Structure 1
């Protein structure tokens, strides 16, 4: 097929061979690096939905990059070896005698084989209405060679209706105004498959400067466009997911802020009474930035002068867990105000979760501190026991019987009572605070906790110790210091 040349300008010179060889080497190296990233991505974890979406986006980007680099390598291979002779016994092929060139040509075969099946050329003569197609173009269109090439007038018949006007416009501008063609359209092959073709063409001028024919290269970019669509689709999905996560986090944070106690520092009984409580609590979000869970802490003055102390944790994350936490905390406060003791109260919470429309499991510890006698009545449901610090030494209270909330119907919960002394310090926490390091690390803080100025200082110590440990989930801590009348 004749090359396209304008009559009024010289033919461009091919680039130096060494430059092209260097580009091919760099392209191959980059292609290998991208393919390695693609393989690593393909073996990534897809446990969480958010991770699955991000993984699909990564994979689509890698696939697109590999397609583009494959095509780039094939193009450079063709550029290095020149136009195909079509005859393996041609004098040019036999007399090269250049070992490097022969090796390069062999290497180029693998690189260009897939590209040659996707790139073809054509020339349409305006004077004779003759059309010339390369063999590859017949394969691209799925057209038998025996039927001959299609004229420009016949070409729209195999195109999607919505693309026919575009082809007519660009061809007219090329032939009438001399504008180069750089456009895409879709064809329907005889096997009913739809392919996307990228056409680049320009008019060929005769010696008088008039348009004599149109020469074009058509490339099947269906797979490339498919990869690009996959990138856009997965990227859009990821962005929507991230937006949804941000919205959910905001809603959960607002709900949590509305439900958890707003006080900071002390919640104290009148100073003239013995056993004054100094209280402080803190919520520690997951360090990985995940969704907020259903952890809570609470301290509430009761009508009889006693104080409710509780911490708990629900399974799940997001709005569902936070709304269930709000329901549980509301019920817990209501029953405590009504005078229900901790063991009985836990049984009611278990029934509430067991019959809820959205099933969930929860762990909790509930304490009723009796100010007059400095006694602590408490019960637990599958939750770490409170820690008692006295004279710089800490220990966990003896574990009581009590299954997880919502685990079974009609569960009974053991209740115990302990006498506290002035200066004692109680630490209630959710299990995720120490799930990796164990309670021993928290107990080791005994001297610092009991030597702190107040409960808020003690909480600050706990947060400094556990706040930056790579915790995968949120946690809560509540500190209660038993004071004496002053």
Structure 2
């Protein structure tokens, strides 16, 4: 069996989580062994002796149990990443291998009290106040906790309250009264103000020593400095509260983003037909759409789709994506989509419409980038006029095959001031299926150039046989959803399907 490595021996060390897990395991083992010691130290009725040693054993066992519980809690916080301050604490200085200090022994003068090897669990001192003789005995460690010297002498029970913070004095006085008058044990925590101006938090465990008549002869106590522990706990609690507030803000923002998105996007639950006034008109469009969320549903982006029947009988088809997530992205999307609708109603052609959108984003108070495609469809002639701004080209399916339309020139919205956008026209035929989508569904490969189809677009084109068999736009959307529903998308996406009536 290989020899055990000394704690200070350099060499291969486990990872930080591994060390924490090992410390937690050791702490749990020590608590189990402590329970066994505590059971052995329980007083036995009828056993002779004064019982002083038994009281000290019980007190020290209780104190050790609290220390192990505190240490276990701190280790759990470290493992969860909630105690960065404690994790950044400097390691304890190396102690000489021959040195062995008792709990009351002072560390070497070269090692300050704050940096002593036991600072992670606090310093521990003891005291005894004899009421009959007014004698007071303090251990050396207790003097250090209070910032006093042995030449200053110990504090009597009457003097002690003047060292305690005013807020803590009433509760401490009540605890001492219960101990000295009613014979109850003391288990209390309070803050003391030291001569150097610093404040320490101490935990006092004490018991009354009774005479044969049942009156209190003296009170002894074990005092532990828990300042560093409480500071760590407060930092952890503040960190947890900050996380709770951030989570609450994120939840509120997501709810607002979802509500805004649902308000702006068309609330279609099936196919819709444009124009709506003539069911038999050749060239009418059967429309359906779907919003596909990202794998991280908390990320609500600025993707949109829209179709609208215009006053002159034409149909507006558009899809786009605004950078960012949350309320800022969805509110910006709502602004752009409102502008698209307004300009389309005013008969602004797709190429000029893209130029106005670019100017709108370029002059916005909050800088943002966006991509968009805008189509104007004339049902009487089945002519599609369209323009794009850094967006994937629409896909056209005919006779069981599909292709991406040749893209007109157009840069991303908000990139260049005064940018112009080219417009193209496409002649559609009865039974054609046109798909507009955002790049969250079909990301393009930069290495293949702006005109290349990415993996998502290729998968859409592979659905051409199913689109040829579909009788409605809704069936086409269902085929798209089945193809992409199991994908782990990094961003949300939209797809709009328009099927030309025969």
TM-score normalised to structure 1 length: 0.78
Task: Kindly report which structure 2 residues correspond to 1:104-143, keeping only aligned pairs within 5 A, or say none.
Answer: 113-114=118-119, 118-143=123-148
2:412 matched to which residue of 1?
Answer: 404
Aligned 8 A contact 1:188 1:194 in 2: yes
1:20 matched to which residue of 2?
Answer: none
Change (3 A) 1:191 1:451: farther
Pair 1:472-2:490 in alignment: yes
- Select the residue among 125, 137, 147 that pairs with 2:152: 147
Pair 1:375-2:383 in alignment: yes
2:14 matched to which residue of 1?
Answer: none
Give how far 1:230 is off. 2.1
- Select the residue among 303, 311, 327 that pairs with 1:319: 327
Q: Deviations along 1:224-282, whole A, 9 cap, x unmatched?
A: 21222222222222222222222222222221121111223222232332112111111
Give how far 1:303 is off. 1.0
Aligned 8 A contact 1:245 1:291 in 2: no
Give how far 1:463 is off. 1.6
Number of aligned residues: 416
1:179 matched to which residue of 2?
Answer: 184
Task: Kindly report which structure 2 residues correspond to 1:269-284, keeping only aligned pairs within 5 A, or say none.
Answer: 269=275, 270-284=278-292
Change (3 A) 1:8 1:145: closer
Pair 1:336-2:344 in alignment: yes
Aligned 8 A contact 2:125 2:222 in 1: yes
| Matched position secondary structure for 1:147 | coil
1:235 matched to which residue of 2?
Answer: 240
| Matched position secondary structure for 1:202 | strand
Q: Deviations along 1:127-159, whole A, 9 cap, x unmatched?
A: 222211111111212222221211112212222
Pair 1:451-2:469 in alignment: yes
| In structure 1, C-alpha distance between the alignment counterparts of 2:139 and 2:54, rounded to whole Å | 21
Give how far 1:289 is off. 2.1
| In structure 2, C-alpha distance between the alignment counterparts of 1:357 and 1:127, rounded to whole Å | 80
Aligned 8 A contact 2:103 2:125 in 1: no
Change (3 A) 1:323 1:367: same
Q: Deviations along 1:358-409, whole A, 9 cap, x unmatched?
A: 2211110001111111111110011111111122222211122111111221
Higher helix share: 1
Task: Kindly report which structure 2 residues correspond to 1:30-429, keeping only aligned pairs within 5 A, or say none.
Answer: 38=78, 58-60=80-82, 113-114=118-119, 118-268=123-273, 269=275, 270-429=278-437
| In structure 1, C-alpha distance between the alignment counterparts of 2:228 and 2:122, rounded to whole Å | 13
1:18 matched to which residue of 2?
Answer: none
Give how far 1:112 is off. 7.6
Q: Which has the higher contact order (CA 8 A, sep 6+)?
A: 1
Aligned 8 A contact 1:287 1:468 in 2: no
| In structure 2, C-alpha distance between the alignment counterparts of 1:59 and 1:333, rounded to whole Å | 49
| Matched position secondary structure for 1:176 | helix
Aligned 8 A contact 1:160 1:186 in 2: yes
Aligned 8 A contact 1:34 1:65 in 2: no
Aligned 8 A contact 1:34 1:62 in 2: no
Give how far 1:34 is off. 5.3
| Matched position secondary structure for 1:294 | strand
| More deviation, 386-395/303-312 | 386-395
Change (3 A) 1:145 1:328: same
TM-score normalised to structure 2 length: 0.76
When the two chains are superposed, the root-mean-square deviation of aligned CA atoms in Å is: 3.3
| In structure 2, C-alpha distance between the alignment counterparts of 1:452 and 1:133, rounded to whole Å | 91
| In structure 2, C-alpha distance between the alignment counterparts of 1:61 and 1:193, rounded to whole Å | 23
| In structure 2, C-alpha distance between the alignment counterparts of 1:143 and 1:468, rounded to whole Å | 69
Change (3 A) 1:147 1:480: same
Change (3 A) 1:422 1:328: same
Change (3 A) 1:430 1:117: closer
Pair 1:432-2:414 in alignment: no
Change (3 A) 1:115 1:318: closer
Q: Deviations along 1:282-313, whole A, 9 cap, x unmatched?
A: 11122212231111100000111111000011
| In structure 2, C-alpha distance between the alignment counterparts of 1:192 and 1:12, rounded to whole Å | 35
| Matched position secondary structure for 2:440 | helix
Pair 1:11-2:54 in alignment: yes
1:78 matched to which residue of 2?
Answer: none
